[in-house]
Amino acid sequence: MSDYSSIRVLVIDDEPAICSSLTAFLEDYGFRAAAAESAEEALELMKSNVYDVCIVDMRLPGMSGEDLIIAARERYPAQRHIIYTGSISYNLSDQLTELGMRPEHVFLKPVRVLSLLVKCIKELAAEKLNT
């Protein structure tokens, strides 16, 4: 297995079971992973930690996932984001598209092929390095 320990991933989801299982999967794969259960907690963690890629649930208590992505990109322009949603009708907003997000950055819960998520994380982390 490749060494992904240089890639820092933050999982943001209000469901503790999703945070813990996805974080554990990412750690098992070799990523450095952390979790937050709200957008506000995530922004607080970002003040003292650098994350290459954030996996963001769209429906969060308080600030929405989309608002979190927009706020995070303003503060940390190199940070990249993956949307992780349970909404099968979700479409990227114009604002997120302008930030460079593409349909392949949107994953529906539950992710059935986790290797695709890993591939997306690796590609976005590489993209971040080139900014």
Res 130 pLDDT > 70: no
Res 105 pLDDT > 70: yes
H helical segments located in the chain: 16-29, 39-48, 65-75, 94-98, 114-129
Q: What is the pLDDT of residue 131?
A: 58
Give, to the nearest 10 degrees, the angle between helix 114-129 and helix 16-29: 70
Res 122 pLDDT > 80: yes
Mean per-residue pLDDT for 103-117? 92
Q: What percent of the chain has pLDDT over 90?
A: 83
Q: What is the pLDDT of residue 127?
A: 84
- Prior bond of 110 cis (ω within 30°): yes
Q: What is the pLDDT of residue 85?
A: 93
Mean per-residue pLDDT for 85-108? 94
Spatial separation of the C-alpha atoms in residues 79 and 53, rounded to whole Å: 6
Mean per-residue pLDDT for 18-37? 95
Confidence of residue 94 (pLDDT cuts 50, 70, 90): very high
Q: Name the CATH superfamily for 8-129.
A: Response regulator (3.40.50.2300)
Average pLDDT, the chain: 93
Spatial separation of the C-alpha atoms in residues 103 and 83, rounded to whole Å: 9
Q: What is the pLDDT of residue 119?
A: 95
* Residue 65 near residue 21, CB atoms below 8 Å: no
* Residue 9 near residue 36, CB atoms below 8 Å: no
Write phi, then psi, for 80 (nearest 5 degrees). Answer: -115, 160
Domain boundaries, the chain: 8-129
